[in-house]
Structure 1
Amino acid sequence: MPYPTVSVAHVKTERPGRYAKQLASHMKKKIDTAYDPETNNGFLEFPNRGYCQLTAQTDTLVLRLEALAEEQAHLEHVIGIHLARFGVADQIKVSWERADGTAGDSCGPLTKEEVIAHRRAKEARMAAASA
């Protein structure tokens, strides 16, 4: 399905393949994902919402998101915040640029304290939902 909006993020890191693999592996619990370390390519597929191509280059993880207009900002944030949390030790920053030249969502770098606070908030939400 072709999506009407495009966003791209160039994430500087010494370990782009590691982060692409980790992102795909983590998100496969909820969506279709893949990452092939031999080709340095993968994807995240958000059914009927968007599709993100993952490309690990020498020192950059390139993310290319195609999405429905109403999902674009949300998916930018979901992908970006996951990478920022995974890359807290490397101070990963994810900044999206949209095809029209405007800035999209930006996440990171995060502190360890911010990651811990996020984890606790998520655990509290899950506990409240199951009560």
Structure 2
Amino acid sequence: MSTPPAAEHTETLTVVGTVATDRGDRYVKQLGDHFGRKVEVVDSDAGRLVTFAAGTCLMSAAADRIVLTAVSSDDESLATVQDVVTRHLERFGARDELKVAWAS
């Protein structure tokens, strides 16, 4: 009698970032359109979900901020998602001096 294969451990890591801006809808759309040229971007009532090789990032706009929810399976991949989203958003929002604050 053979033993069943070991269950694969799939941990999910999540971190939330915020960006103060009253132009959140504009930036979420712009960033989603940009990423959509290279990776999958899905629109929903919750926001725009971007799927990178390293993980995902849900981008949503509120009246006074953008909320970014990055999800990945390991610390290094999560850091990659955070870095890509941060660099692009801060570059697109340079005129408005946008800064992403990720919660620890």
Runs of 5+ unmatched residues, structure 2: 1-9
* Letter of the structure 2 residue corresponding to residue 24 of structure 1: G
RMSD: 1.7
Q: Tell me which of 28, 38, 62 is aligned to 2:67.
A: 62
Look up the SS of the partner of 1:7 in the other structure: strand
Runs of 5+ unmatched residues, structure 1: 103-131
* Letter of the structure 2 residue corresponding to residue 81 of structure 1: R
Kept in 2, the 8 Å contact 1:31–1:46? The answer is yes
Structure 1 or 2, whichever has the larger Rg, is 2
1: CA distance between counterparts of 2:85 and 2:46?
18
Is 1:42 the counterpart of 2:48 in the alignment? yes
Look up the SS of the partner of 2:80 in the other structure: helix
TM-score of the aligned structures, taking structure 1 as reference length: 0.66
Deviations 1:49-90 (A, max 9, x none): 211111110111000011121301111010001000000000
Q: 1:40 to 1:67 in 2, by over 3 A?
A: closer
Offset at 1:40? 6.6
Where do residues 1-131 of structure 1 align in structure 2 (5 Å cutoff)? 4-35=12-43, 39=45, 41-47=47-53, 49-69=54-74, 70-97=76-103, 102=104
The total of aligned residue pairs comes to 94
Higher relative contact order (CA 8 A, sep 6+): 2
TM-score of the aligned structures, taking structure 2 as reference length: 0.81
% identical aligned pairs: 32
